[in-house]
Chains A and B, each alone.
Chain A
Amino acid sequence: MQPQDIQLRINELLDQDVYVHLELTSGAYAHHYDSSKHPASAFITNAAIRYTQGSISGTGPYRVGLKTTQGWLYAEGLTHIDEQEQERLILAGHDSRGKLVVALQLSREMF
């Protein structure tokens, strides 16, 4: 994934109402397969936000931070972008076994 391109996409959604899907997960089976692993997952979907400042950072996996009108939104571990998508920004982080660990999605329309 090309951070410069993603930065342009982040800029396109600046200062407007957007819907966000933000997710982090170790998976429902994490503890079942390895009892030393702590099971943790969180997601919020179709939350409406507006950000006044936003950037992608790091050398891969990447981080994204968005300064919203009332606070912040942050995602770390991003490795993939959906390149077919023109309107929406669909970012994801997959681990070495291909499993999704983190997702950050932004869209003017609901998901």
Chain B
Amino acid sequence: MNTIHNEHERILVVYPHPDDEAFSVSGTLAKYIEGGSQVTYACLTLGEMGRNMGIPPFANRVTLPKIRKQELIEASAAIGIQDLRMLGFHDKMIEFEDPQLLDDSIMALIQELNPSLVITFYPGFSVHPDHDATGEAVIRTISRLPVGERPLVHCVAFAHNQEQFIGKADVIVDVTGFLKQKMASIRAHRSQFQAAELVGDRELNEEEIQARFGRERFWTYPFA
């Protein structure tokens, strides 16, 4: 089968929080993995400063990192991710972290894995400061590679005004065939997924799930 998901043998995903992968890229990853891709997910933090702690709350600031770590492991397994790396940075502090330390960590992964595709957040258009700072670090690091050695970078963006600046997403992946994996990865994040603005306060029916989660959108980063 000569489809898009066989194009990339090695994919590196770099996000700052457990659950970033579930909503934005889990269907796409499941699709690539079925096509034979090896996926490494580098998650920079454990989301230990998150506000969602279950409804009613079953976590606190002290227990949250452990709980989120377990949820991340389960969500990655639900997607089929073969290689999960937890990089141990502090949630909310990515934009204040030593840029050299961040970039070196990302560069080490790129050199080790030699991915042909990297997926991250679009710097400046991803709402959460950690998202933007993670995207910036990835773009900065890859910009240092010679043009011919740079992997393709697909970015997720969800700011209100983004199309004005970066246009419409150029990569749209139909993941309706992988909603089982996607919903399983979302539900694995038990401390987070009940939040009303994410999945809602009621069970969604099949049609609603398809409409809401059936497509994932990416912007190919235009390196200068």
Q: Indicate if the CB atoms of A100 and B62 lie closer than 8 Å.
A: no
**In the bound complex, what is the Cα–Cα distance between A23 and B91 (angstroms)?**
14
Q: Indicate if the CB atoms of B53 and A98 lie closer than 8 Å.
A: yes
Q: Indicate if the CB atoms of A43 and B57 lie closer than 8 Å.
A: no
Given A28-B129, A29-B127, A32-B127, A99 contacting B61 (CB threshold 8 A): no
**In the bound complex, what is the Cα–Cα distance between A31 and B76 (angstroms)?**
30
**In the bound complex, what is the Cα–Cα distance between A94 and B57 (angstroms)?**
8
Given A21-B61, A92-B60, A98-B194, A28 contacting B54 (CB threshold 8 A): no
Q: With a CB–CB cut-off of 8 A, which chain B residues contact A17?
A: none
Chain B: CB-nearest residue to A82: B60
- Contact string against B for A residues 33-56, beta-carbon threshold 8 Å, 1 for contact and 0 otherwise: 100000001010000000000000
Q: With a CB–CB cut-off of 8 A, which chain B residues contact A92?
A: 53, 57, 60-61
Q: Is B196 an interface residue (CB 8 A)?
A: yes
- Residue in A27, A33, A97 whose Cβ sees the most chain B Cβ within 10 Å: A97
**In the bound complex, what is the Cα–Cα distance between A28 and B57 (angstroms)?**
19
Closest Cβ of chain A to B45, distance in Å, is 13
**In the bound complex, what is the Cα–Cα distance between A99 and B59 (angstroms)?**
11
Which residues of A from 67 to 111 have beta carbons under 8 Å from B? 80, 82, 85, 88, 90, 92, 94, 97-101, 103, 105, 111
Query: How many contacting A-B pairs (Cβ < 8 A)?
Result: 65
Q: Indicate if the CB atoms of B57 and A103 lie closer than 8 Å.
A: no
Which residues of B from 46 to 67 have beta carbons under 8 Å from A? 49-57, 60-63
Closest Cβ of chain B to A100, distance in Å, is 4
Give the interface size bracket for A toward B.
20 to 34
Closest Cβ of chain A to B161, distance in Å, is 11
**In the bound complex, what is the Cα–Cα distance between A28 and B160 (angstroms)?**
15
Task: Select one of A23, A43, A82, A97 contacting B195, CB under 8 A.
Answer: A97
- Contact string against A for B residues 97-130, beta-carbon threshold 8 Å, 1 for contact and 0 otherwise: 0000000000000000000000000000001111
Given A90-B62, A97-B196, A98-B194, A27 contacting B57 (CB threshold 8 A): no
Q: Is B206 an interface residue (CB 8 A)?
A: no
Given A28-B129, A43-B49, A103 contacting B60 (CB threshold 8 A): yes
Chain B: CB-nearest residue to A32: B127
Chain B: CB-nearest residue to A104: B61
Q: Is B197 an interface residue (CB 8 A)?
A: yes
**In the bound complex, what is the Cα–Cα distance between A21 and B90 (angstroms)?**
15
Task: Select one of A88, A99, A105, A111 contacting B51, CB under 8 A.
Answer: A99
Task: Kindly list 14 other residue pairs between chains A and B, CB separation below 8 angstroms, not including A92-B53, A97-B196, A98-B52.
Answer: A29-B127, A80-B60, A85-B62, A88-B62, A94-B53, A94-B56, A97-B55, A97-B195, A98-B195, A99-B53, A99-B195, A100-B53, A100-B57, A111-B61
Chain B residues within CB distance 8 Å of chain A = 49-57, 60-63, 92, 127-130, 160, 194-197
The 5 closest A-B pairs by CB, nearest first: A98-B55, A99-B51, A100-B51, A28-B128, A103-B61
